[in-house]
Amino acid sequence: MININVDSIFEIAEQMERDGARFYRNAARDADENKRSLLMTLATMEYNHERTFAAMRAEFTKGKLQPLTPPPHSQGALYLQAAVDGNIFGKESSPELTGRESIDSIFDIAIGLEKDSIVFYQSMKSILPPGEAWNQLDEIIDQEIGHILELTRN
């Protein structure tokens, strides 16, 4: 049986966004002005996502929202359980930059991180009740997809 700890799931989501914002800020240090502007915009958006997840977490902690009990073989719930158990993400969900990476390499890393976020957030829907929580997740997922599109255009 899957025993999902909703608090842990939101903790991971917040950490992913915190790490993403740090990654983009660090990447912006050595970028040209145009790329720096994009990277700082993405850092701000990740920071805002972190705040959204913190607010959602507070709603669950206060008992205003109740997690769903996923079916025993729910792929999304199994994925989340593996993430909580440390089998998917390491201690930090974003790599450290050495300063020697090309901007193309940085964008490739960022695209991978954004894809990881999307899979994680899609999986969160397997344990969250439909409604406002899903709407907020869908909005964040759409923004993460937008990040990928921006990174592929630059």
User: Domain locations in the chain?
Assistant: 6-153
Give the pLDDT confidence score for residue 7 in this predicted structure: 84
Percent of the chain with pLDDT over 70: 91
What is the DSSP-derived secondary structure letter of residue 151?
Answer: H
pLDDT in tens, 116-145: 999 999 999 888 888 888 899 999 999 999
Amino acid at 86: G
Mean pLDDT lowest for which of 13-17, 24-28, 94-98, 137-141? 94-98
Instruction: Supply the CATH classification number for the domain 6-153.
Output: 1.20.1260.10
pTM for the full predicted model = 0.86
Long-range contacts at 141-147 (CB < 8 A, ≥ 24 apart): 143/45, 143/49, 144/114, 144/117, 144/118, 145/114, 145/118, 147/42, 147/45, 147/110, 147/114
